[in-house]
Structure 1
Amino acid sequence: MSGGEYMPTCSHCHREWTYWQAFKQSFRLTKICPFCRKENYEGNQKQGGIYSLILVLLFILANSFFDIPIAWVLPIVIIYFVLFTFIRPCFMKLYTKQQPYW
């Protein structure tokens, strides 16, 4: 029902989205297919966002406990978020119904 190998595929019309179509839709809760205009829902891999938040918190804690200069931590966190934002559309899996988070 979904792409997910590299680019998302609409769960209704099964057409593969381009990177920029997926990138624009990645900021929305309900993804609208640019071809058939039907609603798609992202799978529960949004938990990856929680892991990202935990990783950032670990960087901040490392800064506190080990006196790592903030000039090192802040660029790493910013680069991580930028990479995560641009890579995320490649791993979206789309479904016709919203998936449970548990």
Structure 2
Amino acid sequence: MIESWIHFAVVKRVHSLELDLSSLFSSVKELEEIYNLPIQLLGELNLKLLTSLQLNAVNVSEEHMLGFLSECPLLEELSSTGAPSLRKLKVVAVVILS
């Protein structure tokens, strides 16, 4: 059902998407069982218009975050809290001035 909500938001061409599932979990133990965002979802969606993405209690990995950065050229804000799989993220930016 969560993926249907995400698809609906993208079809409506949202610029800002916040997915906060924290109210569903009351303990750290349960956070280990939080919703795992499917990595294939990135390839199925057109995220080109997204400028802000906030994920709370949604399990994402470094691969997810790098996918968002590459698939969302207009992205200005990206945040994730409560994601046990996201332990380390290394982002290298190259700025080309003309």
TM-score, normalising length: structure 2: 0.26
Q: Which structure is larger by alpha-carbon Rg, 1 or 2?
A: 1
TM-score normalized by structure 1? 0.25
